[in-house]
A and B are shown apart, each in its own frame.
Chain A
Amino acid sequence: AQSVTQLGSHVSVSEGALVLLRCNYSSSVPPYLFWYVQYPNQGLQLLLKYTTGATLVKGINGFEAEFKKSETSFHLTKPSAHMSDAAEYFCAVHTGGFKTIFGAGTRLFVKA
């Protein structure tokens, strides 16, 4: 069975600092991996996704993530945090069928 683990329910960074949100997955077959962002009282919005091909994927708002099969990881990074990046971030995995499994989420705080 597939699963997703997000390390750290809260991450706090200073504006301009590197953002690193960790995600590890478990899957017996090649997964599709996603990062979604959720702003307060809103639905989720896709940041980026990995399906096949290049393991470093770039998304919106300067975010990127690298699929590392050997580490079963899909960490999300952004070189320089902006105040507007403060939100909840969800890693998700899909391995077939209709269900997508979401991680517990990581809330990103950005300090001025």
Chain B
Amino acid sequence: GAVVSQHPSRVICKSGTSVKIECRSLDFQATTMFWYRQFPKQSLMLMATSNEGSKATYEQGVEKDKFLINHASLTLSTLTVTSAHPEDSSFYICSRTVDHNEQFFGPGTRLTVL
């Protein structure tokens, strides 16, 4: 069964609103989780590394004030897209690592900003 869940699976919002995406590790406490963004027909782009109890580590070019990450517990990381705009529309995927950094991915969240 799934070991990483995401909620919601799909969200449509108006431009200017904020959207929160939850990522849960169901079977294991995860001190580190990852957030990816995937544009249509493209590969995954790592946005940030979510660290339990501390600040997230953002990749170069990712606006930390726009993509707020909170990892308040060992099983939950959240990504909030603030003041969303149409260009933020994308598929967002979270993951956690296992041995040798094999990753378990969530099912993804399709964000559409109108």
Q: Report A's interface with B, CB cutoff 8 A.
A: 32, 34, 36, 41-46, 49, 51, 90, 94, 98-100, 102-105, 107
**Assembly CA distance A98 to B32 (angstroms):** 9
What are 20 A-to-B residue pairs whose CB atoms are below 8 Å? A32-B100, A36-B103, A41-B91, A41-B108, A42-B107, A43-B105, A43-B106, A43-B107, A44-B44, A45-B105, A90-B43, A90-B44, A94-B100, A98-B34, A98-B101, A100-B46, A100-B103, A102-B43, A102-B44, A105-B41
Given the known interface contacts A41-B110, A43-B107, A94-B101, the answer about A99 and B42 at a Cβ–Cβ threshold of 8 Å is no
**Chain B residue contacts of A90, Cβ below 8 A:** 43-44
Given the known interface contacts A43-B107, A104-B42, the answer about A49 and B100 at a Cβ–Cβ threshold of 8 Å is yes
Interface size for B (C-beta < 8 A) is: 25
Q: Report B's interface with A, CB cutoff 8 A.
A: 4, 6, 32, 34, 41-44, 46, 49, 91, 93, 95, 97, 99-108, 110
With both chains docked as a complex, state the minimum distance between the C-beta of B16 and any C-beta of chain A, in angstroms: 26
Q: Contact check: which of B4, B34, B102 meets A46 at CB < 8 Å?
A: B102
Given the known interface contacts A94-B100, A98-B32, the answer about A43 and B93 at a Cβ–Cβ threshold of 8 Å is yes
With both chains docked as a complex, state the minimum distance between the C-beta of B73 and any C-beta of chain A, in angstroms: 19
Q: Contact check: which of A32, A49, A51, A105 meets B43 at CB < 8 Å?
A: A105
**Chain B residue contacts of A94, Cβ below 8 A:** 100-101
Given the known interface contacts A32-B100, A34-B102, A98-B101, the answer about A43 and B42 at a Cβ–Cβ threshold of 8 Å is no
With both chains docked as a complex, state the minimum distance between the C-beta of A70 and any C-beta of chain B, in angstroms: 22
**Chain A residue contacts of B4, Cβ below 8 A:** 43
Q: Whose C-beta in chain B lies nearest to the C-beta of A103? A: B43
**Assembly CA distance A18 to B93 (angstroms):** 31
